[in-house]
Amino acid sequence: MVTMDGSRRILDADVLVGDGRIKSVGRSDGRTVGRSKPAIIDCRGLVLLPGLIQAHIHLCQTLFRGLADDLSLENWLEKRIWPLEAAHTEDSIHASAMLGAAELLLGGTTAVLDMETVRHTGAAFAALEEIGIRATAGKCLMDAESNPASLREATDTALRESADLCARWHGAADGRLRYCFAPRFAPSCTGPLLRAVSDLAARAGAMIHTHAAETVLELDTVKRETGHDEIAYLDSVGISGPRAALAHCVWVDKDGIARLAQQHTNVVHCPSSNLKLGSGVAPIPELLAAGCRVGIGADGAPCNNRLDVFAEMRLAALVQKPRLGPETMPAAQVLELATLGGARALGLEADIGSIEIGKRADLIALDLSGVHAQPEAADLMSRIVYSARAADVRHVIVDGRVVVRDGDLKTADVRRIRTTANAQAKRLAASCFH
């Protein structure tokens, strides 16, 4: 068991789970929870980890996988993603969330910070409630003039719907589901909207989830429109601090890094997405050295094209080494991004991210007996980060509920998810691209 607790203990031990939480960690002697004898999941020979966390995902884009390859971020958005998002219906949003969440759970991701599109966010929450993943999700906010008419909303309309969704879903499913306010990125939002989001999030105790400093073009746009560097601008409108999670931060300079560290703003590293869209390599070792909080995420399916946390961890380590040397970003440090870093980015560090008494029971069991992860005497962190893959995940528990057992999803029918997703994806592509 890799605990990720304060002393990073690796134990040969049992975990006792009750009422959705971890009750004890250690050698169990058949103790009971309350009056009932616990159900036992035999994990001998497996590696138990805290559930892995991805702090930047767009479940509404899962149906767009393979429909937007090999494009720059601007073309990717304008020619593909925005028309597809605008064509979504409640049914297609539900199907997209089910497909994405199934992939995430089967691959060992137990919690996500998700940005939906402008409309039908309630349908995504309904899917997340049903499938059993832990999720903090929010409706995308786009009120600036520059947005496509098909997605742009009036500031008041966007804020009102966000507040309604927050009232409905923040804390739902026994706290497993939470709401986040999700301005798309600085150029797609007005200053008054961003300021209002900061106030609303503080009042609701909710996170703010946005993109920042992903491309040079974005930096130039923000500079031209506001006169500020993007990180400083976001800070000036209240999008900073422990309540904020900024995806990407590829193009941050020394001042931006110092500001992010000082404010305890969460940065979410998306190495596959940054490479595939040609955005660049985020200075994650520099951000960590400055004391920044850093999580990790796959971003959306059309810019990755997998939602595989093992692929992101491996790449997060490898992508820095040509620039800073092979000693940079060792495996153990990368695993922190996908556990403790993710927990902080969701505002849930007291509840998830490590195997400790009192935390929510979000656990995964990995089978590293495959030839690709042998020999077994090798360093365990190395085997998890460099060798393991999503298909090695055997069991997944979220909030004490078994959602994956022996590699099978228990909370939904994968065949039905696939059939529905295919039908909806076909309809979306046909309606957008004829």
Q: How far apart are the first and last CA of the chain?
A: 51
Least Å distance, CB 83 to Zn ion, is: 17
What token pair was written down for 100? 């994405």
Least Å distance, CB 120 to Zn ion, is: 18
Beta strand ranges found along 184-285 (DSSP E): 207-212, 244-248, 266-269
Q: Is there a contact between 336 and 136 (Cβ–Cβ < 8 Å)?
A: no
Query: What is the per-residue DSSP string for 319-362?
Result: TTHHHH-TTSS-HHHHHHIIIIIHHHHTT-TTTSSS--TTSB--
- Of 231-239, 296-304, 342-350, 362-370, the window that binds Zn ion (rule: CB under 5 A) is 296-304
d(CA 184, CA 182): 6
Kind and range of the H or E run holding 134: strand 134-138
**Number of shown-chain residues binding Zn ion (CB under 5 A):** 1
d(CA 405, CA 195): 44
Single-letter amino acid, residue 347: G
By C-beta, is 65 or 359 nearer to Zn ion?
A: 65
Least Å distance, CB 345 to Zn ion, is: 13
Least Å distance, CB 67 to Zn ion, is: 16
By C-beta, is 218 or 299 nearer to Zn ion?
A: 299
Site for Zn ion in 92-151 (CB under 5 A): none
Q: Is there a contact between 50 and 339 (Cβ–Cβ < 8 Å)?
A: yes
- Of 69-77, 256-264, 294-302, 318-326, the window that binds Zn ion (rule: CB under 5 A) is 294-302
By C-beta, is 240 or 273 nearer to Zn ion?
A: 273
Q: Which residue is nearest to Zn ion (CB)?
A: 299
By C-beta, is 85 or 235 nearer to Zn ion?
A: 85
d(CA 278, CA 214): 10
d(CA 53, CA 61): 19
- Of 136-144, 157-165, 229-237, 298-306, the window that binds Zn ion (rule: CB under 5 A) is 298-306
By C-beta, is 56 or 176 nearer to Zn ion?
A: 56
Least Å distance, CB 113 to Zn ion, is: 10
By C-beta, is 213 or 403 nearer to Zn ion?
A: 213
By C-beta, is 312 or 399 nearer to Zn ion?
A: 312
Spatial CB neighbours of 339, under 8 Å, sequence gap ≥ 6: 4, 49, 50, 52, 53, 353, 354
Least Å distance, CB 283 to Zn ion, is: 19
- Of 81-89, 179-187, 292-300, 360-368, the window that binds Zn ion (rule: CB under 5 A) is 292-300
The count of residues in the chain is 434
Kind and range of the H or E run holding 395: strand 393-398
- Of 47-55, 89-97, 124-132, 295-303, the window that binds Zn ion (rule: CB under 5 A) is 295-303
Least Å distance, CB 56 to Zn ion, is: 6
- Of 138-146, 291-299, 339-347, 362-370, the window that binds Zn ion (rule: CB under 5 A) is 291-299
By C-beta, is 209 or 383 nearer to Zn ion?
A: 209
Least Å distance, CB 18 to Zn ion, is: 37
- The backbone region for 362, taken as left when phi is positive above 0, alpha when psi lies in -120 to 50, beta otherwise, is beta
Least Å distance, CB 297 to Zn ion, is: 8
By C-beta, is 12 or 70 nearer to Zn ion?
A: 70
Strand 363-366 and strand 47-50: pairing?
Answer: antiparallel
Residue 299, interface with Zn ion (CB under 5 A)? Answer: yes
Contact positions toward Zn ion, by CB under 5 A?
Answer: 299
